[in-house]
Amino acid sequence: MSAELDELYQSIILDHNRRPRNFRVMDDASAHAEGKNPLCGDQLTIWLKLDGDVISDVSFQGSGCAISKASASLMTAAIKGKSRSEAEAIFTKFHGVVTGAHPEDAASMGSLKALSGVSRFPLRVKCASLAWHAMHAALGQDEGGTAAAAAPVSTE
């Protein structure tokens, strides 16, 4: 990776960490799930509002390292307005990129590409995937139609 590209990616992560998008509690959510990454101390909650099959709104709150927060912020921007299956497909692709299994997919990921560098740091992969696992859990929770919260997701 070139130094310029590294810098661009850094600035996207810093920007989303400093000014996270969709960073709020959602009172009328259809589903929510908590995620914890004990290894780093990251902790966040994801809220989803579903309008039929479409994720009409998504938000998060929590605390953690810059990677976990930036990834959650980027995740909310990436899946808002998408269908369940589209959101799951983005998650699968993102996971393949950050784990280093499918680095070739990074090119088509827009801003999410900024997190592709974590594949070189196994501990950071958990930080980057935390919000996504929680989103996945929240989606599964709504499917059952229960009002109870999904079981907390842990990266351990």
125 touches Zn ion by CB under 5 A:
no
How many residues at the interface with Zn ion, by CB under 5 A? 5
40 touches Zn ion by CB under 5 A:
yes
In this chain, which stretch among 10-18, 58-66, 107-115, 142-150 interacts with Zn ion, using CB under 5 A?
58-66
d(CA 66, CA 133): 17
- Residue closer to Zn ion by CB (options 30, 37) is 37
65 touches Zn ion by CB under 5 A:
yes
For the residues of the chain, what is the DSSP string, one character each?
A: --HHHHHHHHHHHHHHHHS-TTBS--TT-SEEEEEEETTTTEEEEEEEEEETTEEEEEEEEEE--HHHHHHHHHHHHHHTT-BHHHHHHHHHHHHHHHTTS-GGGGGGSGGGGGGGGGGG-HHHHHHHHHHHHHHHHHHHHHHTT--SPPPPEE--
Single out the residue of 22, 45, 59, 68 in contact with Zn ion (rule: CB under 5 A).
Answer: 68
Q: How far is the CB of 128 from Zn ion (least distance, A)?
A: 8
57 touches Zn ion by CB under 5 A:
no
Single out the residue of 74, 106, 127, 150 in contact with Zn ion (rule: CB under 5 A).
Answer: 127
Q: How far is the CB of 64 from Zn ion (least distance, A)?
A: 5
- Residue closer to Zn ion by CB (options 29, 118) is 118
Determine the residue type at 25.
Answer: V
Name the residues that contact Zn ion, by CB under 5 A.
40, 42, 65, 68, 127
